[in-house]
Structure 1
Amino acid sequence: MSASQSYIHCQNCNFSHLCLPLALNTDEMDKLDTIVKRNNPLHKNDYLIESNTPLTSLYAVRTGSFKSYIEDDDGEYQITAFHFPGDIIGFDGLREKRHVSQTQALETAMVCEIPFHMLEDVAEKLPNLRNQLMKFMSAEIQQDRELVMLLNKRNAESRLLYFLISLSKRFEERGFSATSFLLPMTRTDIGNFLGLTVETVSRLLTRFQKNGLIKVEGKALEILKKGDMEQMLTDYHINIDSI
């Protein structure tokens, strides 16, 4: 562990309100903190998890962002999630004790590694931690269902609107600006996640900008009329409270 990481603990993490310590008291947080490993940073395109590797740990994102995706034998891939600080990565390996997806850094990022066998032992003694793990797993299942519904029943415009508003909410939850942020993923990644071509993503962003909804320069995006975008989602019969 580097000197800069030696002071990092669950107790002083800015994102503990989104992570496993959320439901824990001080003593319980101390117990969790003893098993957490603070690893060196990963850099853009580094793999945190590779597919078909054994489940050994869960990972809490501390800084930066990641994408998870599955890939078939022909090399075709589908992005299944983007991860930001406070998110837990690795639940896909629970059933078979092996990961079915792979997770790659979108930028320089840091994670807190939680050895799974040690987490199981601690969770048996701490019902609040066990319940929090169940909530995280339930939330991931719900997110997967919402993504399936989005891809199956929504048009291109509503998919991208949903994506931008959900990003806004996630950044706001983490104490960042809800209206001005950098997109860590490429337009190709966005298109893959939403089942759209990169040309469609670029065309829609240009249209949203011409209509005064957003301002976009490269990866920098500013939401100018969030209320109007939310109303458009409502008109598409998308419940924005569920985002």
Structure 2
Amino acid sequence: MLTPTTAAPVAHADDSIASSTPVRGGRRAATFRPSTRSAARCSSCAMRQLCMPQGLSPDELTKLETLICSARSVQRGEALYRSGDRFDSIYAVRSGSMKTVMAHRDGREQVTGLRLAGEALGLDGISEDLHACSALALEDSTVCIVPYTALKSLCREIGSMQDRLHKLLGEQIVREAAQMMVLGSLSADERVAAFLLDVSERNAQRGYSSAEFNLRMTREDMGSYLGMTLETVSRTLSRFQKRGLIDIQGKHIRIVDLDGLRHL
């Protein structure tokens, strides 16, 4: 939601989705390095067009930057918050990437989302004042902390902030509805293609390569997110490679035939 990041690209060597590596020509690839700063400045944020309202006055921008009291580092595999934790803040991914996970009654876990730089976390806690899911870092990441009570006060003062919060909630509803369609009506090939296209489009929104990225979410997590087994995910990716749709080299994926993926 309100996330500054001016981090320079850096690669990670793990079998996961999704940030990108440098490519030859074209756009720079999407990779992220956690910042060591403890304060956040929206005015110098590379992702401000994605997460904050446009057209704020200097005074309003100062109030917004004052609200975001700190930035927290989250190491790979560490939880930012867990299901059942008290809700008091919304978080914005400043660098890196996170996954959200919900637990079944029998203890099984379901990956419910992938959050990249410029995207909000923690909105699930608004309804019951408790987090309904857990958020875990897929790589070393940083998040901006936005206290919710203070944010509501600022929204009453600045109408565009209220509008932005409503849009964030609406975007989450739309994304979850789209995910229900993926799980309920698409074949395995269509699910994997939809996921790769989604990552591609989100990279493009950030000014990064839409064709090449490292895998940050593991294939097992990807299967959980798409309602597939690890084996089915691996077979599907291998089949895509044989058909010339993508090229996989270890943790790195390159989309060779974007239109081919779209027409699956």
TM-score w.r.t. structure 2 length?
0.84
Per the alignment, residue 218 of structure 2 pairs with 186
Higher RCO (Cα < 8 Å, 6 or more apart) = 2
Q: Distance in 2 between matches of 1:23 and 1:82?
A: 28
TM-superposed CA distance for 1:224, in Å, is 0.7
Higher helix share: 1
User: Quick check: 1:124 aligned with 2:156?
Assistant: yes
TM-superposed CA distance for 1:8, in Å, is 4.1
**Matching of residues 16-27 of structure 1 within 5 Å:** 16-22=48-54, 24-27=56-59
Per the alignment, residue 165 of structure 1 pairs with 197
Q: Distance in 2 between matches of 1:17 and 1:115?
A: 21
**Matching of residues 130-209 of structure 1 within 5 Å:** 130-209=162-241
TM-superposed CA distance for 1:72, in Å, is 2.2
| DSSP-derived class of the 1:17 partner | helix
TM-superposed CA distance for 1:22, in Å, is 4.0
Structure 1 runs (4+) deviating above 4 angstroms are none
C-alpha contact (below 8 Å) 1:10/1:21 kept by paired residues: no
C-alpha contact (below 8 Å) 1:20/1:133 kept by paired residues: no
Summarize the Cα distance change of 1:23–1:230 in structure 2 as closer, same or farther, 3 Å threshold: farther
User: Quick check: 1:61 aligned with 2:62?
Assistant: no
Aligned length, in residue pairs: 230
User: Quick check: 1:87 aligned with 2:119?
Assistant: yes
TM-superposed CA distance for 1:24, in Å, is 3.2
Per the alignment, residue 247 of structure 2 pairs with 215
* Cα distance per residue 1:62-98 (max 9 Å; x no partner): 1000000110232111111100000010110111111
Letter of the structure 2 residue corresponding to residue 67 of structure 1: K
Letter of the structure 1 residue corresponding to residue 185 of structure 2: K
Letter of the structure 1 residue corresponding to residue 184 of structure 2: N
TM-superposed CA distance for 1:4, in Å, is 4.3
User: Quick check: 1:32 aligned with 2:64?
Assistant: yes
Match of 2:141 among 95, 98, 109: 109
TM-superposed CA distance for 1:187, in Å, is 0.2
Per the alignment, residue 258 of structure 2 pairs with 226
TM-score w.r.t. structure 1 length?
0.91
C-alpha contact (below 8 Å) 2:39/2:71 kept by paired residues: no
